[in-house]
């Protein structure tokens, strides 16, 4: 009886150990990162990752790509732009009661992605700016994703005709015409004020000094050009201003003076935004014939710490009519200044330095924005003959900020020693113009080896980072089970020996008693 109880006790203990062993294996499998298959839901992206630029009254089609990453089909998928509650949020005309689009059932996987297209028309009153718009994605009535996208808008040019109502010229660089004003906030422009005789108002006479019909001869700006076309902060440029005499009389002895706004944060750095690179800021012109045109030019330097925006220059004019009476006038010229993007990329941190085909190496570096402009939609693309192409989206980096680049590069083809991998960094400016730069790194791709061979290699860092967690845990549990079984067998054997010894002693005692009797 006692033997049977001991046997059952040993069996129960062994069952508990086996159950615990299976539980450890299941938990290890469930918790190991490589065994977890997490659903990431739905994503929405602007096609080709482009930032669209609209103009006043312009209609464009904006295309988005919707992808299901959940691993299961999703039904009744809808995409809805958030129009907001006021015009400051939504730059487009509201031409429909609802812009929601239903794309039905969306199967899982990138190959099953669907495109959604929206036709938007920019409002006429929208200024040149950058808008952040929200788009929501729902499935089966539940919100699955919400993402922000950028769009650039361009203001409608403001133009005014001259007194005779004619419109014969416009824009930066127009060499003729009679517009008195042309302004676009980002592209620059010009505007014209009134002309007046010295000591009197425009159109009036002073002691018979004016012409016979009492009008004041007027000279206006009809456009301007810069060489180079884009004015960069800290550089020299040539400004050429196009003039037109709108009156029917000749004007002569003309003196023009240009003055720029003062920029700077303290007394040591405060100075005009533009200064003559040589000579004075005054320009002399002999005369302009009736209804004639002329150009004046000056070499200027843009201050190095100017922000990226248009800067106004005031142009004052003094000239004489045929009676040698002095006339004064003024115009304003808006010159856009561009700041060059300046940034540095830190040294690459590569771990490990060598990977087998099918394995991954981690590559990290930092991007320091040293310029005065914001970098938009920064993206890093890694390409090489021996690796699979990899892309990392960093996003927007403010002036003076740091962006982190963290990529996983998978070996594709065995290399003959360290092989070149090129990182192409792309970014956009405020107008959506894309610029790129490249930086190279080296990564060796070797032949794929078995886990046993990898464990026997003399690279402790790489071995540590690719440590086979599951096999080691299972081996440890198996060893524990075997040890437990051996201990149980030894304990059982000892208990049986003690029982046999007790039974033998009992028989000896009984034999001794029988002999005494």
- 17 band by pLDDT with thresholds 50, 70 and 90: low
- Whether the pLDDT of residue 214 is over 90: the answer is no
Q: Contact 420/434 with Cβ under 8 angstroms?
A: no
Q: pTM above 0.85?
A: no
- The residues, any chain, with a CB within 8 Å of residue 112's CB and separated by 6 or more, are 67, 68, 106
pLDDT at 236 over 80: yes
- Condensed to tens digits (0 to 9), the pLDDT of residues 336-383 reads 888 888 899 999 999 999 999 999 999 999 999 998 888 999 999 999
pLDDT greater than 90 at residue 304:
no
- pLDDT value of residue 366: 95
Q: Is the pLDDT of residue 424 over 50?
A: yes
- Top pLDDT among 512 and 35 is at 512
Residue 515 phi, psi dihedral angles, 5° rounding: -65, -40
Question: In the numeric block, which tokens belong to residue 251?
Answer: 């004007």
Beta strands in 69-168 (DSSP E): 74-82, 101-106, 114-121, 129-139, 142-154, 158-160
**How far apart (Å, rounded) are the C-alpha atoms in residues 87 and 345?**
40
Count CB-CB contacts under 10 A for residue 440.
10
The 10s digit of each residue's pLDDT in 59-78 is 999 999 999 988 899 999 99
Task: Compute the distance between CA of residue 284 and CA of residue 302 in angstroms, rounded to an integer.
Answer: 22
Distance CA 48, CA 432 (A): 13
**Which of 211-215, 285-289, 473-477 has the highest mean predicted lDDT (pLDDT)?**
285-289
The answer, yes or no, to whether residue 14 has pLDDT greater than 80, is: no
Taking the C-alpha atoms of residue 52 and residue 18, their distance in angstroms, rounded to an integer, is 63
CA angle, corner 400, sides to 398 and 401, nearest 5? 60
User: For 268, phi and psi rounded to 5 degrees?
Assistant: -75, -30
Burial 185-207 (b: 16+ CB within 10 A, else e): ebbbbbbbbebbbeebeeeebee
> Going from the N-terminus, what domains does the chain have, and what CATH number goes with each?
42-154 (2.60.40.10), 217-262+271-338 (2.60.40.10), 343-446 (2.60.40.10)
Residues whose CB is less than 8 angstroms from the CB of residue 82 and which lie 6 or more positions away in sequence, other chains included: 89, 133, 134, 135, 136
Distance between the two ends of the chain, CA-based, in angstroms?
Answer: 31
The Cα 137–Cα 116 span in angstroms is 11
Q: Does residue 390 sit in helix, strand or coil?
A: strand
Q: Which of 453, 219, 215 is nearest to 316 (CA)?
A: 219
Closest CA to 406 of 465, 375, 360: 360
Each residue's pLDDT tens digit, 273-297: 888 887 788 899 999 999 999 999 9
Residue 21 has phi, psi (to 5 degrees) of -60, -45
- Whole-angstrom distance, CA of residue 111 vs CA of residue 69: 11
Question: Which of 64-78, 88-102, 470-484 reaches the highest mean pLDDT?
Answer: 64-78
Cβ contact 183:127 at 8 Å? no
Answer yes or no: are the C-beta atoms of 380 and 392 closer than 8 Å.
yes
Scan for tokens 């995409």, then name that residue.
79
Give residue 176's region: left, alpha or beta (phi > 0; psi -120 to 50).
beta
Percentage of residues of the chain with pLDDT beyond 70: 74
Bridge-based pairing of strands 354-356 and 434-446 is parallel
How many CB atoms lie under 10 A from the CB of residue 442?
14
> With contact defined as beta carbons under 8 Å apart, do 318 and 255 qualify?
yes
Measured at the alpha carbon of residue 459, what is the angle toward residues 458 and 465, in degrees to the nearest 5? 140
Percentages of the chain per state (helix, strand, coil), in multiples of 5: 20, 45, 35
SS3 state at 452: helix
Element (H, E) at 113: none
Type and span of the H or E element at 409 = strand 402-410
**Residues 222, 286 contacting (CB under 8 angstroms):** no
Over residues 430-471, the pLDDT tens digits come to: 777 888 999 999 999 999 876 666 555 555 554 445 556 666
CB 441 within 8 A of CB 348: yes
DSSP states along 215-260: PPP-EEEEEEEEESSSEETT-EEEEEEEEEE-SSS-EEEEEEEEE-
DSSP state at residue 48: G
Looking at residue 445, its pLDDT comes to 93
Q: Per-residue confidence at 31, pLDDT binned at 50, 70, 90?
A: very low
């Amino acid at each position: 009886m006692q033997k049977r109880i001991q046997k059952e006790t040993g069996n129960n203990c062994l069952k508990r150990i086996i159950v615990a062993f299976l539980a450890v294996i299941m938990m290890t499998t469930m918790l190991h990162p490589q065994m977890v298959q997490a659903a990431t839901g739905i994503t929405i992206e602007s096609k080709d990752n482009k930032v669209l630029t609209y103009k006043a009254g312009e209609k464009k089609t904006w295309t988005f790509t919707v992808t299901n990453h959940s691993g299961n089909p999703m039904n009744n998928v809808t995409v809805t732009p958030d129009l907001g509650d006021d015009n400051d949020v939504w730059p487009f005309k509201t031409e429909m009661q609802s812009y929601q689009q239903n794309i039905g059932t969306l199967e899982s996987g990138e190959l099953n992605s669907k495109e959604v297209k929206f036709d938007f028309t920019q409002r006429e009153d929208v200024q040149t700016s950058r808008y952040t718009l929200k788009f929501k994605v729902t499935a089966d009535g539940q919100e699955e994703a919400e993402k922000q996208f950028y769009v650039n808008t361009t203001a409608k040019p403001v133009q005014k005709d001259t007194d005779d109502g004619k419109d014969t010229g416009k824009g930066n660089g127009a060499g003729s015409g009679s517009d008195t004003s042309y302004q676009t906030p980002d592209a620059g422009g010009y505007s014209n004020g009134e002309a007046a005789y010295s000591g009197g108002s425009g159109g009036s006479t002073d002691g018979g000094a004016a012409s016979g019909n009492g009008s004041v001869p007027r000279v206006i700006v009809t456009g301007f050009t810069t060489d180079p076309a884009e004015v960069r902060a800290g550089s020299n440029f040539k400004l050429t201003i196009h003039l037109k005499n709108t009156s029917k009389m000749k004007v002569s002895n003309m003196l023009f003076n240009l003055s720029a706004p003062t920029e700077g944060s303290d007394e040591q750095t405060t100075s005009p935004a533009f200064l003559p690179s040589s000579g004075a800021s005054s320009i002399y012109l002999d005369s302009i014939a009736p209804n004639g045109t002329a150009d004046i030019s000056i070499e200027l330097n843009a201050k190095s710490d100017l922000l990226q925006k248009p800067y106004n220059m005031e142009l004052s004019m003094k000239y004489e009519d045929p009676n040698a009476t002095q006339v004064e006038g003024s115009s304003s010229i808006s010159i856009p200044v561009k700041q060059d993007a300046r940034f540095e990329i830190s040294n690459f941190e590569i771990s490990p330095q060598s990977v087998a085909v099918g394995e991954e190496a981690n590559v990290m570096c930092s991007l320091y924005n040293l310029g005065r402009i914001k970098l938009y939609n920064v993206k890093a693309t890694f390409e090489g003959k021996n690796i699979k192409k990899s892309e990392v989206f960093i996003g927007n980096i403010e002036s003076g900020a740091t962006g982190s680049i963290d990529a996983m590069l998978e070996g594709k083809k065995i290399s003959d020693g360290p092989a070149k991998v090129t990182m192409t960094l792309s970014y956009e400016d405020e107008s959506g113009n894309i610029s790129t730069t490249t930086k190279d790194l080296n990564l060796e791709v070797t032949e794929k080896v078995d886990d046993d061979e990898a464990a026997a290699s003399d690279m402790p860092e790489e071995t540590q980072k690719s440590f086979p967690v599951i096999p080691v845990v299972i081996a440890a549990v198996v060893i524990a089970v075997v040890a437990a079984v051996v201990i149980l067998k030894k304990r059982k054997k000892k208990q049986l020996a003690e029982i046999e010894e007790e039974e033998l002693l009992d028989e000896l005692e009984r034999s001794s008693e029988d002999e005494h009797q």
